[in-house]
Amino acid sequence: MDNKGLRDRVKSLEQQLKTAKACAAISKSKAERALESEKLILDSVKEAAEGLLCVRVDPAEENRRVDARLKAMNAPSGSARDLALTLLHDRVKQAESFTEWCREGLVMVQRSLFPLNPAPSTLEGLFSWYRNPRQVRQKVREQLINGAIVALAFVRAHCPNLDIAKICRGLPLRGDQRANMQGHYDAVRRPAEDVIWQLEWEEDQVLRARGDIP
């Protein structure tokens, strides 16, 4: 090979070397970006798991479940990625159970306080209902009014000639002072409980007819 051919060969090899270096740099850059991207994803997964820490009821039981799942997956020992994903998966499951527990609790409260009013079946519907203080106060007021109606109806049924409107306008006066009602409250407490018991019995009949209770 003459000198010119040798120079051309060297030049070609130099060009190939530059190309190889450029390709290596690109590959390295892609690998670094991939590692950086995976780190960001892993950090996001860890952050999400930390955000669900409030639903963790039993830390020891959680650790047991996570360890068992990692073993079942044959995950590499000490893999931060697998641990983070498994922990997030477990806490999402716990969040599902916690959400259902909240829903059932609110349904129970709704049915206990307002047994004749149909309770929303979804957590969103329940939250929407309880987020409206005016609506809740109105329902409570309706319950109080219904209780007063029942009590006064019992009185009127036994004493139809009583002026119920006059009775309900206010307490009697003794001179400039209102009558002390404590003795009256004490005297009617037991009869009031009997009235409420009968009201609850009637409500139960309605609920049984609707199939809401056995």
Neighbouring residues of 151: CB distance < 8 A, sequence distance ≥ 6: 192, 195
Size (the chain), residues? 214
In the predicted structure, residue 1 carries a pLDDT above the cut 70: no
H or E, element range at 162: none
79 backbone dihedrals φ, ψ, rounded to 5°: -70, 110
Separation of alpha carbons 51 and 69, rounded Å: 21
Q: Locate tokens 């068992």: which residue?
A: 68
**pLDDT tens-digit series, residues 123-133:** 888 888 888 88
Quote the CA–CA distance of 72 and 91 in Å, as a whole number.
18
pLDDT at 55: 80
Interval 54-63 mean pLDDT: 86
Residues 19 and 127: their CA atoms lie apart, in Å, by 63
Q: Which of 40-44, 48-52, 199-203 has the lowest mean pLDDT?
A: 40-44
Q: What are the φ/ψ torsions at residue 7 (nearest 5 degrees)?
A: -65, -40
Instruction: State what percent of residues in the chain have pLDDT above 70.
Output: 81
User: pLDDT, tens digit, for every residue of 72-90?
Assistant: 888 776 688 888 888 888 9
Predicted confidence (pLDDT) at residue 3 exceeds the cutoff of 70: no
Report residue 141's pLDDT band, with 50, 70 and 90 as the boundaries.
very high
pLDDT of 211 reads 81
Domain residue limits, the chain: 42-131
Please tell me the predicted confidence (pLDDT) of residue 199. 83
> Cβ neighbours of residue 179 under 8 Å, at least 6 residues apart?
171, 172, 173
Q: Which of 7-16, 132-141, 188-197 has the lowest mean pLDDT?
A: 7-16
Residue 2 has pLDDT above 60, yes or no: no
Helical (H) or strand (E) element with 131:
none
Q: How many CA atoms lie within 13 A of 187 on its CB side?
A: 5
pLDDT tens, residue by residue, 146-205:
888 988 999 999 999 999 998 888 887 777 777 788 898 899 999 989 988 888 888 888
Please report the DSSP string for 85-130 in residue order: HHHHHHHHHHHHHHHHHHHHHHHHHHHHHSTTSPPPSSHHHHHHHH
Alpha carbon distances (Å) from 147 to 101, 119, 143, 144, 206: 31, 21, 6, 5, 17
